[in-house]
Amino acid sequence: MNLRFKLLLFVICILPAICIAQGDTDEIIASKDLAVVETESGKVRGYLSNGIYTYKGIPYAFAERFMPPEKVKSWTDVKFMGYYGPTCPLDYGPIAARGNGIGMFALQNDWGYPSENCQSLNIWTQGINDAKKRPVIVWIHGGGYAYGSSHELPFYDGENLSKKGDLVVVSVNHRLNILGFLDLSAYGEKYAHSANVSLLDLVASLEWIRENISQFGGDPDNVTLFGQSGGGAKITALLNSPVALGLFQKAIVQSGSYARSYLDSKTAQKVSAELLNELEMKAEEVDKLQKLSYYDLITAGNKAVAAVRKDARSKGEPILGSIMGPVHDNYFLPYNLFTPEALELSKDVSIMIGTTKNEFALMAAARTGEDIEATKARIMEMYPDQADAYMEAVKEAYPNTLKASDYLAIDFMFRPGALRDANTLVKAGHENTYMYLFSWQSPVDDGSLKSMHCMELPFVFNNIKLGKELTGGGKEAYGLAETVSSAWINFARTGNPNTEGFPSWPRYTFEEGATMVINTEGEVKFHHDKQLLKIVMPD
């Protein structure tokens, strides 16, 4: 047997193993009699992907512009739910301005197709109509309050998480930006709840889950919300709302602790008044907004927001909260963020809060080539009296700091917000609270991505292959994803994230400040960055 023939035989023998390891044997089964489930509105049909029942684009509600969501009309046929539903229309100007840089490469955004009737959800489950009560975990996407969708990023796919943890994974589309947060309540009872219809959509999705998820093998009494960035912020709003009370039992807020207050209704109503002014409409013509093209609406809305901001600056009046974000109204958010009344609402909810070490790494990417002297000079400009103390505090908090750029790429927005929220929760008696900090460093683009915003997501979803542009797709990433996804699965099951592969993960307390720092492995640290945060944020 010659050498060439032996090599050919070897390749033939190992080829199936290679294919299986790389997922090339992924199997899709779709049939008219397969994966049929009865919902309150009618029957839906999904398909099997690698043994996981998959449903995409199920309508959970319907709403006219600025109106609260309503139940969808029933149907008599069997609807095939095999592709994602429409996304909320977006303001594409800022998106286009980003260009085709390393961030777009790393995230591989898919903007979908827009429609204002965007209330749909997706489900992945191991069993249907089997009376089993699997934990339900509901993904709320990021993108602030203005952008994103349930399938914007490829690693939002719920198949692997469902398969590994025997969870029912759900992801949700809902209204955003001016469609979700325009307060028109000053113009009549018809628009009484317009200020927060984005959040009302999320409540409608959770009500749909409560009524229907048992047919998809899920337990309506064991629901966990998890969301990142804007998704995490929206979960925080749900925690503070009496309208969402009892619809979920656990919550994971990932890089979403940035709100300090909700927008007051007075400012929100100034925006809507300025919007009418921009469009040269009288108050009695407000209904015309419902028929205006989205492009004209968002263009005028952006001008209105700018005008209100300019007026506030000229008067020296700070705007608390996010314009075109949650509004402190008298219905959905009658209490402001984490006030005693709001904290009482969520007292029985188990909560995990965390961030990534380098949330804004992309903004610092241009400085990754700087030497230590250039970095020191930059730190001197920022902290002239404490430059040396700052660098020492960085090394104390993060002993593995090696590169000059590591001193400047640390997040000082989301981490302090997460600590503030966790401290507020535990002081109010929310004992089942856990904290994490994801610090694993991506090797992509010469390491410029570090542990940027969104970096933990492929690990949480156990989707390293679908996030290889972000993570590099190496062996180390696959190994860490096994542990991280297990922690999220365990939290969804029991409210406790402890898992094999990590050391014992204690609850967070104000006194000890326990944080699971997730690098190549997990390490529990106690107030590890306290001195650093004192220098950066002395107040």
CATH code, 169: 3.40.50.1820
User: Which has the closest alpha carbon to 182: 272, 70, 281?
Assistant: 272
Structure tokens at 538: 């002395």
Alpha-carbon distance of 516 to 523, in angstroms, equals: 6
Look up tokens 């314009």; give the residue.
323
pLDDT of residue 101: 85
Helix/strand/coil for 424: helix
pLDDT of residue 362: 77
Residue 114 and residue 93 share a domain: yes
Alpha-carbon distance of 310 to 333, in angstroms, equals: 26
pLDDT of residue 22: 34
Residue 337 and residue 379 share a domain: no
Residue 303 included in any domain:
no
Question: Which of the listed residues 314, 345, 376 is the one where a domain comes to its end?
Answer: 345
Structure tokens at 146: 């203005």
Residue 360 and residue 230 share a domain: no
Residue 14 included in any domain:
no
Residue 80 and residue 206 share a domain: yes
453 part of the active site: yes
pLDDT in tens, 449-505: 999 999 999 999 999 999 999 999 999 999 999 999 999 999 999 999 999 999 999
Say how many domains are in the chain. Answer: 2
Q: Which position among 150, 171, 229, 255 bears the catalytic label? A: 229
Residue 278 included in any domain:
no
229 part of the active site: yes
Residue 315 included in any domain:
no
pLDDT of residue 15: 38
Residue 358 and residue 218 share a domain: no
Beta bridge partners of 436: 354, 516
Q: Which position among 430, 453, 486, 528 bears the catalytic label? A: 453
Q: Is the CB of residue 270 less than 8 Å from the CB of residue 370?
A: no
Q: Which DSSP helix (H) or strand (E) runs through 469?
A: helix 468-471
3-state helix, strand, coil in the chain (%, to 5): 40, 15, 40
Residue 336 and residue 485 share a domain: no
Question: Which of the listed residues 286, 312, 345 is the one where a domain comes to its end?
Answer: 345
Residue 432 and residue 498 share a domain: yes
Which amino acid makes up residue 270? Answer: K
Question: Which of the listed residues 320, 345, 370 is the one where a domain comes to its end?
Answer: 345
User: Which has the closest alpha carbon to 137: 29, 291, 250?
Assistant: 250
Residue 429 and residue 341 share a domain: no
Structure tokens at 154: 């490829």
Kindly list the distances between the CA atom of residue 131 and the CA atoms of 123, 214, 217, 494, in Å, as whole numbers in the listed order.
17, 7, 6, 20
Residue 2 included in any domain:
no
Q: Which domain holds residue 203?
A: 36-261+331-345
The number of beta carbons lying within 10 Å of the beta carbon of residue 426 is 20
Residue 26 included in any domain:
no
Residue 268 included in any domain:
no
Kindly state the DSSP code that residue 527 receives in the 8-state scheme.
S
373 part of the active site: no
Residue 27 included in any domain:
no
Residue 354 and residue 341 share a domain: no
Residue 425 and residue 468 share a domain: yes
Helix/strand/coil for 216: helix
Residue 474 and residue 430 share a domain: yes
pLDDT lower than 50: segments of the chain = 1, 3-24
pLDDT in tens, 162-206: 999 999 999 999 999 999 999 999 999 999 999 999 999 999 999
Residue 409 and residue 337 share a domain: no
Q: Which position among 359, 370, 456, 469 bears the catalytic label? A: 359
